[in-house]
Amino acid sequence: MPAATLKWFFWTPHILSSHTATMFEIKSSLPTDKPAAYAELATLLQGLLTGETDFIANAANTAALIFNSLPELNWAGFYRLVAGELVLGPFQGKPACVRLQLGKGVCGTSAQQRKTVLVPDVHAFPGHIACDAASRSEIVIPVIKNGQLLGVLDLDSPQHGRFDAADQEGLERLVAIFVTAVKI
Ligand code: SME
């Protein structure tokens, strides 16, 4: 499907009760203007995480928001740094590899280098770890708070070359919001 025809779905908070609960529902789609879409997502994520500092809870909602909002994803989620390994955290998508070594694969490379790694073609990335055979491209953003590596955010797509610099910028902004919200 040509990128120009992809729809950017986004979620909007719907207050069921001002005192008891907030639900999220798909309200509409956005145009393919990535900076605008990520700006909307940043606002939504900020609202979603406000008042909550728990890493797992916030990672779960962040992964769910991203997976259900961005087009052409087959996996979105977190790996946490635990005792020197990346351990599977909250995610959306098919069951995935549980433990990844630093320096190995896309996630381990991002964690070791503490930099975002953008892979247009996973088959051309030496050491790529194929948790889902459908994945064709991938982006991994390190999650760092006060200089401490907490883990990574990993997004996979079945579309070759799905992620670009606008995705990197937008996703790094979402991770910054996540990092600010969580307590360590
Ligand atoms: N492809 C990743 C492994 C994690 S899964 O994609 C969820 C990697 O090479 O590190």
Contacts of 125 (CB under 8 A, 6+ apart): 106, 119, 138
Q: Pick the atom of ligand 1 nearest to 93's CA.
A: 7
Give the helix ranges, DSSP H, for 50-139.
Answer: 55-69, 105-113
97 CB within 6 A, ligand 1? yes
On the 0-12 / 13-18 / 19+ scale of CB atoms within 10 A, 18 is exposed
pLDDT tens by residue, 12-70? 544 333 333 455 554 446 557 999 999 999 999 999 999 999 999 999 999 999 999 99
Which residues are bridge partners to 145 per DSSP? 148
Q: Domain holding 120: CATH number?
A: 3.30.450.40
Domain that holds residue 58: 3-181
Number of domains, the chain: 1
Average pLDDT of the segment spanning 162-167: 97
How close is the Cα of 113 to the center of ligand 1, in Å?
16
Q: What's 59's DSSP letter?
A: H
Q: Can you read off the two tokens belonging to residue 66? A: 């991203």
pLDDT tens by residue, 55-114? 999 999 999 999 999 999 999 999 999 999 999 999 999 999 999 999 999 999 999 999
Q: How far apart are CA 44 and CA 177, in angstroms?
A: 10
107 CB within 6 A, ligand 1? yes
How close is the Cα of 26 to the center of ligand 1, in Å?
28
How confident is the model at residue 30, as a pLDDT?
53
Q: Can you read off the two tokens belonging to residue 76? A: 């979105």
What is the reported pTM? 0.88
